[in-house]
Amino acid sequence: MATVLVIGASRGIGFEFARQYRADGDRVLATCRTDPAAERLRKLGARPLQADVLDAGSRAALLPQLGGERLDLLILCAGVYGPRTAGLAVPEPAEFDRVMHTNVLAPMHLIALLAPTLAPGAKVALISSRMGSIGLMASASGWLYRASKAAVNAVLRAASLELGGRGVVCMAFHPGWVRTDMGGTGASIDATESVTQMRRVIAQANDSHNGKFLNYTGEHLSW
């Protein structure tokens, strides 16, 4: 039985990670921001933790809530898309801050905060996006989101260099285009398929996967 912490598990891909790991009998700690979300997670058999990743006090309160648990897997899933711009429409500063703080600064804080709780050989899965790939980019749509995911990919890569020496395997994932509130109803796969595939890749990951950017099906993606 592994101990898994999912950050951003109230709905969408994060909720599905919590559901599937619980269904397999793992110990699941899962963060959310509201009481109804906590109740849905409790019904799965997960232990809900309250965390708004934008709030420093809320992030810091995670450690005492963990109560000395050692994590075998940390999944960083909380994210926002921000303004759905086309072309070179410049985001408002407040939007820029919200997207960059949620998608980039929060994972930096959380990785640093939670690193001491990772068990030897633990894995860190950061849910990024192919839209953050500079090499594969073919459109300017949602360029703030793209920039945030490119930045968090660099964060993941840097973390892999720090934590790899302790046997921790850090990976960035593109989860596919997934039918969630963010992905929309026209997306190509559902959360069950996305998470089933990522869980298979995570389970098989070894040292050679540390610092890699992976499609949900396991293929390497260009940064």
Ligand X SMILES: NC(=O)c1ccc[n+]([C@@H]2O[C@H](COP(=O)([O-])OP(=O)(O)OC[C@H]3O[C@@H](n4cnc5c(N)ncnc54)[C@H](OP(=O)(O)O)[C@@H]3O)[C@@H](O)[C@H]2O)c1
CB of 63 or CB of 80, closer to ligand X: 80
Contacts of 158 (CB under 8 A, 6+ apart): none
Choose the stretch contacting ligand X; rule: CB under 6 A; options: 50-58, 83-91, 110-118, 135-143: 50-58
Contact between 174 and 216 under an 8 Å Cβ cutoff? The reply is yes
Binding mask 122-141 toward ligand X (x if CB under 6 A, else -) reads -----x-x------------
| 30 contacts ligand X (rule: CB under 6 A) | no
Beta-sheet pairing, 118-127 with 71-76: parallel
| 177 contacts ligand X (rule: CB under 6 A) | yes
Interface pick for ligand X out of 2, 157, 187, 223 (rule CB under 6 A): 187
Taking alpha carbons only, the member of 136, 112, 215, 210 closest to residue 168 is 210
Choose the stretch contacting ligand X; rule: CB under 6 A; options: 41-49, 61-69, 74-82, 201-209: 74-82
101, 111, 145 from 55: Cα distances, Å: 10, 15, 20
Contacts of 36 (CB under 8 A, 6+ apart): none
Residues near ligand X, by CB under 6 A: 8, 10-14, 32-33, 51-54, 77-80, 102, 127, 129, 175, 177-178, 180-183, 187
